[in-house]
Homo-oligomer: A and B are copies of this chain.
Amino acid sequence: MTDTPSTEQLVRRTLRGDRVALARSISLVENEAPGAVQILDACFAHGGEAFRIGITGPPGAGKSTLVTRLALGFRARGEMVAIVAVDPTSPFSGGALLGDRVRMGELAGDPGVFIRSMATRGSLGGLAVHTAQVCDVLDAAGFRRILIETVGVGQSELEVAQTADSTAVVLVPESGDGVQAMKAGLMEIGDLFVINKADREGAERGAFAVRSALELRAARSSWQPPVLLTVATRGDGVAEVIERFEEHLEFLRGHGGLDRRRRQRLEQRLRDLLRDRLWRDFQGVLPADLWTTTLEALVDRRFTPHQALARLLEAAGVSPDGGQHSQ
């Protein structure tokens, strides 16, 4: 098949920003296919220039529309923009129900924009690692602003948001109710707060509630997160969001916070990679059928979970007494 480029060719083309090669590289990385490590190694070595921007918040806040507007705004400033839309699907469903994004017609055909949807999967190091890897590829391919959009506000979305350099939390006027927002841990992760759909009643009140809640947040730096109002469907307020993101980037660069953040994120990523690898190796050495028979005994309550754990560890040659959980 002379049409299939070697991994080396694929890497070269990806680094040049060839869109077909880029799409293929990302797919290989996402699927942990042969060549993925080579691609990742090359991209990691050539990356580090992109500003990664997280956009998170509850479903229905209008994140997709805002992201589209932000992409248009960054394009107007001459930046190459990538959008990574992370769609966590439940472990019950085979794939993303909404894997295909119908939106973003306005961005179609612009060679300076690259859009990619990712779905949750059982994957090496989980969704956050995969997102970071895809961003590494986009970074190496020359995209200088990468918008990472997550759906929902759970733990895994927060982890994905943490792979970004700067994160905006998008709310609606009603979710400005500080207590509700805090519950979801959102107040902690935002560098910017956006009250979208601000043409609805209560937007100023919502912004006030968010500002009040932010005062309760422990100050981590001299950056005071702005609370901005937008109507993304009309584009209102979007320019200011972009300006504030750029301002935050300058702030991070100036105060060394960018390096510190990136260091923390790389550490988390290394940890995630390792945990997954250890699990795979363990599964590889476990005698056939032992998992099933142990599970049977657990279901019948002949074993407790800890007895089942000990049995499996012993069979895999790991001392069951080594853990901190023994008495």
Residues of A in contact with B (beta carbons under 8 Å apart) = 32, 34-38, 40-41, 44-45, 48, 58-60, 87-93, 97-98, 120, 124, 127, 151-159, 162, 174-175, 177, 179-189, 216, 218, 259, 262-263, 266-267, 269-270, 273-275, 277-282, 284, 294-295, 298-299, 301, 304-309, 312-313, 318, 322-327
- The complex is assembled from copies of this chain, and their number is 2
Please pick, from B188, B281, B304, B312, the residue contacting A41 in the complex, using a CB distance under 8 A: B304
A91 to chain B: closest CB distance in Å? Answer: 7
In the complex, are the beta carbons of A98 and B158 less than 8 A apart?
no
Report the bound CA distance from A270 to B304 in whole Å. Answer: 10
B-chain residues with CB within 8 Å of residue A269 when the two chains form the complex: 305
Report the bound CA distance from A162 to B92 in whole Å. Answer: 10
Q: Quick one: closest B residue to A159, CB to CB? A: B91
| A40 and B91 contact, Cβ closer than 8 Å, known pairs A152-B184, A312-B274 | no
B-chain residues with CB within 8 Å of residue A187 when the two chains form the complex: 97
Report the bound CA distance from A92 to B225 in whole Å. Answer: 16
In the complex, are the beta carbons of B309 and A277 less than 8 A apart?
yes
B-chain residues with CB within 8 Å of residue A282 when the two chains form the complex: 274, 278
A104 to chain B: closest CB distance in Å? Answer: 15
B-chain residues with CB within 8 Å of residue A32 when the two chains form the complex: 324-325
B-chain residues with CB within 8 Å of residue A92 when the two chains form the complex: 185, 188-189
Majority secondary structure of chain A interface residues (helix, strand, loop or mixed): helix
In the complex, are the beta carbons of B59 and A181 less than 8 A apart?
yes
In the complex, are the beta carbons of A280 and B152 less than 8 A apart?
no
Report the bound CA distance from A181 to B60 in whole Å. Answer: 9
In the complex, are the beta carbons of A284 and B322 less than 8 A apart?
yes
Report the bound CA distance from A36 to B318 in whole Å. Answer: 21
Report the bound CA distance from A58 to B177 in whole Å. Answer: 14
Q: 29 A-B residue contacts at CB 8 Å?
A: A44-B305, A48-B301, A58-B153, A60-B175, A60-B180, A88-B184, A90-B186, A90-B188, A90-B189, A91-B162, A93-B185, A93-B188, A98-B179, A98-B183, A124-B325, A152-B184, A153-B154, A154-B156, A154-B158, A263-B295, A266-B295, A266-B298, A267-B295, A270-B298, A274-B309, A274-B313, A278-B282, A280-B324, A281-B322
Report the bound CA distance from A279 to B97 in whole Å. Answer: 33
Please pick, from B59, B89, B185, B306, the residue contacting A90 in the complex, using a CB distance under 8 A: B185
In the complex, are the beta carbons of A270 and B309 less than 8 A apart?
yes
Please pick, from B60, B157, B181, B304, the residue contacting A174 in the complex, using a CB distance under 8 A: B60
